[in-house]
Amino acid sequence: MHRVRRSRRLAPALGTLLLVLVVGPAAQAPDPVRPTAPPPDAPAPGSRCLGCGVAPEPVAPDDDAGWRSIFDGRSLDGWDGNPAVWRVEDGAITAETWPDRRVGTTFLIWRGGEPADFELKLDIKADYDIHSGVFYRSTVGPTIARSGGPSPARGAGSAPGPGRTGATPALGRATQAPFAVPADARWNVRGYGIDWDWDPGNNGNVQDVGTGRAEAQIGWRGYIVRTTAGARPRALGTLGDREALMQVVRLGEWNQLHIIAHGRQLTHLVNGHVMAILIDDDPAGLKTKGVIALQIEQFGQGRVSFRNIRLKE
């Protein structure tokens, strides 16, 4: 009796064992089919993806919302400078210096205020061997001597271009004639500026001239630069190759300058290209507001002109 019950209990287990031996282990599921190409309705490479947003549209050249003109194109109303140097010609503010009529470094100062955070746009054209710039957050007054550091060398002058009759050949810097129109302290400015010369080495740079800083060029074209107390300016990163960026400058033609001053950050653009960014974290050098001024330097020769001067605060 006990033997029969035991055999009945063993029968199901033996059946399962025989089934496993005959059939074998459970069959493995096949690998899922993976797609090897995007579906037909997928965006093409480089196109906008859903949910990724859209790149910003460029500002239209004629978008003047929030801007105001600070030069009327006819007169120097609102501006203050040496009348022997500055004039309006063909809708542009113009100044010249030549070997036979040398002009000392001088500025045309906008007397409409001392902007702090702002944007400034204007067109500039410099020819021959001119040295110029546009200053902002600046102070009217005498130049403060540098505290030390490198002093950039100036190259020799160049021959006058067409349209200048009776001009004497260019003279070396050391042998130039006395100034016909000397610099005048009433129209001297010190502060930040965008450098603009016929020699394009420094064009687009952020400079700080006449304020006592060891170096005048503190924000170089092609770099994001930070200044700190007691140290030389340091590059945080690059905006592009300096020489490649120089190619956006149209020498001898009209160029648009765009200056953005916001807090400690100063940004210079030329013809829509970012040339230099300075973050001025040096408390002794930081300037938070000041006058806007146009410059012609005593070096070189030629004509510089400015037009379409607009301000946004």
Q: Does residue 34 sit within a domain?
A: no
Domain of 284, in residue numbers: 77-147+176-312
How do residues 185-207 score in pLDDT, each as one tens digit?
999 999 999 999 887 789 999 99
- Residue showing tokens 């239209």: 60
For the ranges 47-61, 189-203, 281-295, the lowest mean pLDDT is seen at 47-61
Q: Does residue 153 sit within a domain?
A: no
Q: Does residue 3 sit within a domain?
A: no
Q: In whole angstroms, what is the distance from residue 283 CA to residue 264 CA?
A: 10
Q: Does residue 47 sit within a domain?
A: no
**Among candidates 96, 67, 214, 87, which has minimal Cα distance to 152?**
214
Name the domain count of the chain: 1
For the ranges 95-104, 145-154, 202-211, the lowest mean pLDDT is seen at 145-154
The secondary element (H helix, E strand) that includes residue 42 is none
* Residue 238 bridge partners (DSSP): 223
Q: What burial class does residue 154 get, using C-beta atoms within 10 Å of its C-beta: 0-12 exposed, 13-18 middle, 19+ buried?
A: middle
Q: Does residue 8 sit within a domain?
A: no
Across 248-271, average pLDDT: 96
Q: In whole angstroms, what is the distance from residue 103 CA to residue 182 CA?
A: 6
Q: What pLDDT does 177 receive?
A: 86
Across 130-149, average pLDDT: 90
pTM for this prediction: 0.78
Q: Does residue 190 sit within a domain?
A: yes
Over 90: is that where the pLDDT of 229 sits? yes
Q: What pLDDT does 47 receive?
A: 59
Q: Does residue 256 sit within a domain?
A: yes
Q: In whole angstroms, what is the distance from residue 20 CA to residue 170 CA?
A: 106
Which residue did the predictor score with more confidence, 142 or 9?
Answer: 142
Give the distance from CA 94 to its chain's centroid.
24
Amino acid at 245: L
Over 90: is that where the pLDDT of 157 sits? no
Q: In whole angstroms, what is the distance from residue 13 CA to residue 24 CA?
A: 16
Give the CATH number, domain containing residue 286.
Answer: 2.60.120.560
Q: What burial class does residue 252 get, using C-beta atoms within 10 Å of its C-beta: 0-12 exposed, 13-18 middle, 19+ buried?
A: middle
Q: Does residue 264 sit within a domain?
A: yes
Half-sphere exposure of 231 (CA within 13 A, CB side): 11
Q: What pLDDT does 4 receive?
A: 46
Across 84-107, average pLDDT: 97
The secondary element (H helix, E strand) that includes residue 17 is helix 2-23
